[in-house]
Each structure stands twice: as C-alpha cells, then as structure tokens.
Amino acid sequence: MVPTGVLSNDASIKQKTSDFLAYVLSHQDPTGWLGPEVNTTNVRYLWGRSVNQFLKLVASCRNLLSSRYPFFFGATQMVESDPSLASQVIPAMYKFITLANSMLKTGQGLEPWTEARWQEFAITLQWFLYALASRSTTLVDEPF
C-alpha cells in the first residue's frame, strides 16, 4: 500500500499506512519483538506464521499482523518517502534485528517458511545498514 499511496499521492492511503506504522512501532515489546506475539506465550517465528497458521488466524479474525519481513519492506518504503520517520523506524528495526540475531544463534524463530524467505530479511538488513551509514547514525556499537 505504501507505493500506491505515494505514487498516487492519495492522502487516505498515506494516512492508513502511517497509522499502521505508528501502531506497530508503539506496540513493540521491550525485547524488540514486533507482531501479534507481543505479551503472549505464543511461539515467535521471525518471518511470521506459515500459510496454514495464517489461514487459521484469518478464519478466526485475530492477530492479522503476522509477517515481519513484509512489514519491514513497508516501513523502509515509508522512510524513503518521508525521511523524518527514520528516527522512529531505525531504532525499532535495530531492537528487532538484535533480538532476531540472538534467536538465530539459539535456533529459535525458524520454520521451513522462514528459512525459505531468508532473502527478505537480508534485503531489510541491507537497507538498515545503508540507512545507518547514510545518516551517520551510530546505533551499532558491537558486532553481531
């Protein structure tokens, strides 16, 4: 929706995507997690829920934010269209990336779908590192 809102200059779409971004970022838990598993004991998968899990959620109409990597694509597109959002998006991404790194080191957050979609996370990491370098931001003090 982000590219559609920006390219068509549709104020309604831009507002909806802005509201969604603000909601997700404001509900990030202290560990850095983004998504419906915040403040629950549900299993956390880095990409999101598998197709079967997602269809079950859609059928029950709850927790529809289930895909972190596609969310990051939208968030990065919003920063590209409005650089003032970087001050909110980049720190939230850093918290999530730090958590994802610790999860991957212990074998958590993986399922076949997550493993197949690793490229999406790599693209997000590339954007994140570029954003840090281009903004002279020093968020990363220690190596992963």
The string of DSSP codes covering 14-31 is HHHHHHHHHHHHHT--TT
Give the model confidence (pLDDT) of 100-116 as tens digits: 999 999 989 888 888 88
Q: Above 60 in pLDDT, residue 48?
A: yes
* Whole-number pLDDT of residue 98: 93
Give the model confidence (pLDDT) of 7-25 as tens digits: 999 999 999 999 999 999 9
What are the residues whose beta carbons fall under 8 Å from the beta carbon of 72, sequence distance 6 or more? 93, 120, 124, 127
CA distance 102 to 82: 31
Tokens representing residue 20 in the block: 């969604």
* Whole-number pLDDT of residue 138: 54
Binned at pLDDT 50, 70 and 90, residue 60 comes out as: very low
